[in-house]
Structure 1
Amino acid sequence: MKTSIGISEENRAVVAHELAKILADEFLVYTKTLNAHWNLEGMDFHSVHLYFEELYKDSAEIVDSLAERIRQLGHYAPGTMKEFLQLTHLTEADGGGNDSRSWIHKLLGDHESIIEFLRGNVDDFADAHKDAGTSDFITGLMEKHEKIAWMLRAHLK
């Protein structure tokens, strides 16, 4: 059935493709956060282990909401690791230790990268592609990542 929501097919396709990149980034952060949760070691294990659990649960919700937004635009969300790895701007965890400081640095870098990518799309989605809904959606997403980044930085002080 045709999607008729007041946004041209061309604009919906462009926005859906950019959202697919964001979804890939988010899925990679989700996976990296699970890795951190599972493999964390150190004197602060218990408290940081619980914090990483909160983070990966939040990430799972973000992943689902992004996939649903893509579907609302009438497109299919990527759903394989191959697709995610082709679309993402981020890299997989590459060692560097399993202590909390190492994991927090890795995760912080990813969240900040996502913030920058989201910020770069807010105006384009609204203005160039006439999709105020997705612009608003990613603004809220950006705010979530800004809070997460702030909390991760606070752990490093």
Structure 2
Amino acid sequence: MKTNIGISEANRQAVAEQLGKLLADEFVLYTKTRNAHWNIEGPDFHSMHLFFESQYEQLDELMDSVAERMRKIGHYAPGTLAQLLQLTHLTEQSDRKNDSLGFLKELLEDHESIIEFLRGNITPFAEKYHDAGTSDYITGLLETHEEMAWMLRSHFR
């Protein structure tokens, strides 16, 4: 059945394309955070192992909500690794050691990249594409990523 939610197909398509990129970024960040959880080493292993676990659990929920937002506006979410890797702005490559500071720095940079992407789409979603719902939705995601970035950044102070 046709999606009739007061937003043109062209505008829903444009928003869905950006949400697909966001989903890909969330997936890569989730995977990198899982990697940190699995492979952390050092004297702070236990506390960092638990910290990274709490972060990837949050990211798991975020990924699901982004995919569901895409479905709400009438589009399918990318669901293969190949699709996600083509869409992401992030890289899975890393030159860091398996210590907490290396993981923290890399994950912080990725959160900040997602924050910039989200911030750059709030106004276009609302004004250009007439999708206040998705604009509001990503504002909430922005706040979540800002909090997660703060938690990562606080380890460096």
Number of the residue aligned with 2:148: 148
SS of 2:92's equivalent in the other structure is coil
Paired AA for residue 94 in structure 1: S
Distance in 2 of aligned mates of 1:31 and 1:63: 11
- What's the CA shift string for 1:21-53, capped at 9, x where partnerless? 000000000000000000000000000100100
C-alpha displacement at 1:93, in angstroms?
3.7
Number of the residue aligned with 1:105: 105
Number of the residue aligned with 1:12: 12
Distance in 2 of aligned mates of 1:90 and 1:22: 10
> Is residue 55 from structure 1 mapped to residue 55 from structure 2 by the alignment?
yes
C-alpha displacement at 1:156, in angstroms?
1.4
Distance in 2 of aligned mates of 1:123 and 1:20: 18
5+ residue gaps in structure 1? none
Paired AA for residue 43 in structure 2: M
5+ residue gaps in structure 2? none
Runs of 4+ in 1 over 6 A off after TM superposition: none
Paired AA for residue 90 in structure 2: L
Distance in 1 of aligned mates of 2:130 and 2:63: 23
C-alpha displacement at 1:143, in angstroms?
0.4
Number of the residue aligned with 1:72: 72
SS of 1:102's equivalent in the other structure is helix
SS of 2:90's equivalent in the other structure is coil
| Cα-Cα RMSD | 0.6
C-alpha displacement at 1:95, in angstroms?
3.1
Number of the residue aligned with 2:121: 121
SS of 1:15's equivalent in the other structure is helix
* TM-score for both structures, normalised by structure 1: 0.99
* TM-score for both structures, normalised by structure 2: 0.99
SS of 2:91's equivalent in the other structure is coil
Q: Is the 8 A contact 1:41 1:100 kept in 2?
A: yes
- What's the CA shift string for 1:78-105, capped at 9, x where partnerless? 0111001100000004231000000000
Distance in 1 of aligned mates of 2:4 and 2:111: 33
Q: Is the 8 A contact 1:125 1:135 kept in 2?
A: yes
Distance in 1 of aligned mates of 2:84 and 2:155: 29
Paired AA for residue 39 in structure 1: N
